[in-house]
Amino acid sequence: MADYHLKMDNLSVGYNGKPLIRDINIGISKGEIVTLIGPNGSGKSTILKSITRQLKLIAGMVVFDRESIGEMSYKALSTRMSVVLTERMKPELMTCHDIVATGRYPYTGRLGILNREDEEKVEEAMRAVCAEDLGARDFNNISDGQRQRVLLARAICQDPEIIILDEPTSFLDIRHKLELLSILRNMAKQKQITVIMSLHEIDLAQKISDKILCVKGEWISHFGRPDEIFKEEIIRELYDIDNGFFDPCFGSIELPGPAGTPKILVLSACGTGIPVYRRLQKEQIPFAAAILYKNDIDYRLARLLAAEVVAEEPFREIGDEAFSRALSLVESCEAVFDAGVEIGPCNRRLSELFSEAERQGKLRKLRHEVLE
């Protein structure tokens, strides 16, 4: 209990005295990465701004290392907490090195002149984010990815115990998102720096975070480890998704599959079905998938996209129930697509399905061939 690095204690946050989110009670341990997820406008930034004291707390308190943040001086806080904000910084005539060097502000003397040690910290921070070669460049003339790295370096060289980042990956392409997050990951684990941030990319949030905080309007809907949070129902409820589906295993979001009675039966295994499903989904043709073992990667996607899935428990021979269902689908569908299946001792009954489809003149082999 007392070992939490940062604790929100009955915290209510909001603007102009009006609470937006009430009664937040959360403890964060040192070196943890905590990610806030939730729909736009749910109050992720409001919470972060309250922790950084940009906003006055409405009620409750934020306890940082057993001290209430509201009672710490700005100066004392600045040597322990640094920030990367969403608002675009538009400095005039400042090089990236200058920007990073502002992180040393709390440590320099009255006139803010950097000494040798400060300079070393600046360079170390720039190395940590792989931005050494940006030093002399004008901050306004670099790419978004570089800018975020420089701002992170600035936050790092402030030597904080905790870093708060508000949507650090916005505007970044996928490579830079990954780069930035892996820098954060390393930093948190090696230097035991606590990281609290908000992210829009829930798939990345799942992969980088130790804890996830789901923010949804007035309250915190869930808080816990990613494996506790990334469940279909929780995510669907959090984002009010009813036209799309979330796969907790890979953190991926799928568009809804075509509904209706299946017109096409897809026979596949080990991923051969995935491109076929996607193609049929785009064409909005309802389809069925058979016969998939529940540990097959095709099964995970078919579950979300197919109108019907005929499945069998892993490592068993195909049972009568599944087989007869598949057989009736061969009967009712207009075509049967063979996406490529290895036939072995367990699934040998599939070859019976293939010959039945062939007999009815419905079988189309898609192996090594482009879907038309």
Partner 1 sequence: MQQGFHMENFKRRSRYILVFAVLLAAFLAITVLNINTGNVDISVPEILRILFHGTGGTTEYNIIWKIRLPRILMAAILGGALSLSGFMLQTFFENPIAGPFVLGISSGAKMMVALTMIYFLGRSRSVSSYTLIAAAFLGSLLTIGFILLFSRRLHHMATLLVAGIMVGYICSAVTDFVITFAEDSDIVNLHGWSQGSFSGMSWSNVAVASAVVAATLLITFFLSKPIGAYQLGEAYAQSMGVNIKAFRVALILLSSILSACVTAFAGPISFVGIAVPYLIKRCLNTSRPLVVIPGTFLGGGVFCMLCDLIARTAFAPLELNISTVTSIFGAPIVIFMMLKRQKGRQ
Considering beta carbons, is residue 2 or 111 the nearer one to partner 1?
111
For partner 1, which residue of 92, 242, 369, 372 counts as binding (CB under 8 A)? 92
- For tokens 């506790």, what's the residue? 228
Q: Is 17 helix (H, G, I), strand (E, B) or coil?
A: coil
Q: Taking contact as CB under 8 A, which single stretch among the options 71-79, 263-271, 278-286, 314-322 is the one that binds partner 1? A: 71-79
Considering beta carbons, is residue 50 or 272 the nearer one to partner 1?
50
The yes or no reply on residue 135 touching partner 1 (CB under 8 A) is yes
In angstroms, the CA 181 to CA 35 distance is 11
The yes or no reply on residue 116 touching partner 1 (CB under 8 A) is no
For partner 1, which residue of 26, 37, 69, 85 counts as binding (CB under 8 A)? 85
Length of the chain: 372
For partner 1, which residue of 102, 170, 221, 252 counts as binding (CB under 8 A)? 102
The yes or no reply on residue 278 touching partner 1 (CB under 8 A) is no
In angstroms, the CA 101 to CA 118 distance is 8
The yes or no reply on residue 110 touching partner 1 (CB under 8 A) is yes
> In sequence order, what are the residues at sequence separation of 6 or more whose Cβ sits closer than 8 angstroms to the Cβ of residue 217?
20, 21, 42, 43
Contact present, 235 and 304 (Cβ < 8 Å): no
Q: At what angle do helices 320-332 and 350-359 cross, to 10 degrees?
A: 20
The yes or no reply on residue 123 touching partner 1 (CB under 8 A) is yes
For partner 1, which residue of 136, 242, 259, 367 counts as binding (CB under 8 A)? 136
In the shown chain, the binding pattern of residues 37 to 66 toward partner 1, with x for contact by CB under 8 A and - for none, equals ------------x--xxx------------
In angstroms, the CA 161 to CA 60 distance is 22
The yes or no reply on residue 158 touching partner 1 (CB under 8 A) is yes
What are the respective helix, strand and coil percentages of the chain, to the nearest 5?
Answer: 40, 25, 35
The secondary structure of 239-262, three-state, reads: HCCCCCEEECCCCEEECCCCCCCC
Q: At what angle do helices 273-282 and 297-305 cross, to 10 degrees?
A: 10
User: What type of residue sits at position 39?
Assistant: P
Neighbours of 227 (CB within 10 A): 10
The yes or no reply on residue 99 touching partner 1 (CB under 8 A) is yes
Considering beta carbons, is residue 132 or 358 the nearer one to partner 1?
132
Least distance to partner 1 from the beta carbon of 105, Å?
4
The yes or no reply on residue 23 touching partner 1 (CB under 8 A) is no
Residues found near partner 1 in the complex (CB under 8 A): 49, 52-54, 73-79, 81-83, 85, 87, 89, 91-95, 97-99, 102-103, 105-106, 108, 110-113, 119, 123, 132, 135-136, 140, 158
